Structure 1
Amino acid sequence: MLSCHPTIDILTEYAAGSLPLAHSLGVSVHLDQCPHCRDQVRRLNNIGAELFSEHSAEVRPDHMASLKSKVMASLVNHEETQAAVDDNTAFQHIPRSLRRWIPQGFNDLNWMPLTPSFKLATLSNESGGAQIALSRVKPGARLPNHTHTGNEITVVLKGAFSDDEGLYREGDFICRDHNHKHQPRVTKDAECICLIILDSPIEFTGWFTRLLNPIMRYFHPNSAAT
């Protein structure tokens, strides 16, 4: 049973298509693993469909037919692509929304070691936008103390970790902002891999780990944070 979910405001923006793309990816990865939030989004989509139908009479029939044809073609292409990736065992334990980003599985990513127990693999560095990455931490390890210079979304993909606010398991969706300072610790039974979406770089606050801050800023695409 998941304990951490996106807020209703985030789900509403996601359903409306107004959430930034990087944040939408985080929500999609959570939805892959959370029936409760999928139901919430379905309800929000139904409300949107009702509002749309109220104005559909103003739309020309030929435009509606063209729109319907494009949507149906898109759905068919998606189903064919999804059937192909579902047959690939390299995607085992990777949520569907991430499989295009991780074509050969976790182990074949370009992992950058930051400490003896903590690695980072960047998936996307869109210029001026959010950083999309994976973190990989050894069993029982504690991440360095850090704070956030902007919003951070974390979705647990494998294993579990805890901090002062709780325990987070596979599928949990956690939001942090600049007011949060914490030191996550991975449970001892397994390594922990998380999807992280950073609007701005994290700031390590320890005496020695502060030396990593220039590296985190260097690899973050948001030029305003560098």
Structure 2
Amino acid sequence: MLCYHPSLDMLTDYSSGSLSLPHALGVSAHLDQCADCREQLRRLNTLGAELFAHQETTAPEAKLDSLKASLMEKIGQQPQPTERRAPAVDERLRSIPASLRRLIPNGYDELDWMSLTPSFKLAMLSNEPGGAQVALSRIKAGAHMPTHTHTGNEITLVLSGAFSDEDGVYRKGDFICRNDDDKHRPRVTKDAECICLIVLDAPIEFTGWFTRLLNPIMRRFHPSTVPSNA
């Protein structure tokens, strides 16, 4: 059972189409693995359509607040849907969320992994100039990612294995949001390596004496620091 999910506000933004594409990708990959959030999204889609169907473009603010309150009240009243059987997929891609398979067409091992430390690798999936960075992190069993802070918001989605930090233990499918107030040192469980999808609005900053040398590399490859004409 998954313990960490996107917030209701984030799911609402996803439902309305106002979430940025990198962040929407992270939510989609979580939805592929979480029946509870799929049901929440179905309710938001259904009730959002109803809201807009009855909303007048010149409706007063009090009326809009009333409609929103009614929408949230009805979320818990929707019937449970029947789960559909997923189509057969290539065995190499079975463990990869459907939303990510176009970016990882041949499995994790065929990606272009960049070794940052002996136990920590990174593979870029998307680096649109001026936007968020979408990448995979891969850490060996029992190892830890260097202590770091965030210079912007970060989404982490566990794709395989598990890791822990000062705030909890995160397993496959868990969706974690961090901001620039967070500082942590993720450690992978000893039974298996851990692969995560990460969406970074800004580069992370390593704080250790030696790992600080990696910070220029992280800034160099992050699209927010790359000129749009590069």
TM-score bracket for this pair, using the shorter chain length: 0.7 to 0.9
Q: Which residue is 1:24 aligned to?
A: 24
**How far does residue 223 in structure 1 lie from its aligned partner after superposition?**
2.4
Q: Which residue is 1:46 aligned to?
A: 46
Counterparts of 2:204 and 2:89, CA distance in 1: 37
Q: Which residue is 2:74 aligned to?
A: none
In structure 1, list runs of 5 or more residues that go unmatched. 57-81
The one-letter code of the counterpart of 1:174 is I
Q: Is the 8 A contact 2:150 2:181 kept in 1?
A: yes
Counterparts of 1:178 and 1:137, CA distance in 2: 22
Counterparts of 2:183 and 2:55, CA distance in 1: 47
TM-score by length of 1: 0.85
Alignment of 1:9-158 (within 5 A): 9-54=9-54, 86-158=88-160
Counterparts of 1:155 and 1:142, CA distance in 2: 17
Q: Which residue is 1:191 aligned to?
A: 193
Counterparts of 1:90 and 1:130, CA distance in 2: 28
Counterparts of 1:140 and 1:123, CA distance in 2: 25
Q: SS state of the match for residue 36, structure 1?
A: helix
Counterparts of 1:224 and 1:125, CA distance in 2: 9
The one-letter code of the counterpart of 1:179 is D
**How far does residue 90 in structure 1 lie from its aligned partner after superposition?**
2.2
Q: Which residue is 1:3 aligned to?
A: 3
Q: SS state of the match for residue 47, structure 2?
A: helix
The one-letter code of the counterpart of 1:189 is D
Percent identity over the alignment is 67
Counterparts of 2:52 and 2:178, CA distance in 1: 34
Counterparts of 2:2 and 2:89, CA distance in 1: 27
Counterparts of 1:155 and 1:178, CA distance in 2: 18
Summarize deviations over 1:14-62 as a string: whole Å, max 9, x none: 0000011100000001111111111111110011111233369xxxxxx
The one-letter code of the counterpart of 1:33 is Q
Q: Tell me which of 170, 173, 176 is aligned to 2:175.
A: 173
158 and 222 in structure 1: CA distance in 2 versus 1, 3 angstrom threshold? same
4+ aligned runs moved over 4 Å, structure 1 = none
**How far does residue 87 in structure 1 lie from its aligned partner after superposition?**
3.2
Counterparts of 1:157 and 1:205, CA distance in 2: 26
Q: Is the 8 A contact 2:220 2:226 kept in 1?
A: no
Counterparts of 1:220 and 1:154, CA distance in 2: 16
Number of residue pairs matched?
198
Q: SS state of the match for residue 223, structure 2?
A: coil
Counterparts of 1:120 and 1:162, CA distance in 2: 19
Counterparts of 1:28 and 1:109, CA distance in 2: 21
The one-letter code of the counterpart of 1:214 is P
Choose between structure 1 and 2: higher helix proportion.
1
The one-letter code of the counterpart of 2:14 is Y
In structure 2, list runs of 5 or more residues that go unmatched. 57-85
The one-letter code of the counterpart of 1:221 is P
Q: SS state of the match for residue 156, structure 1?
A: strand
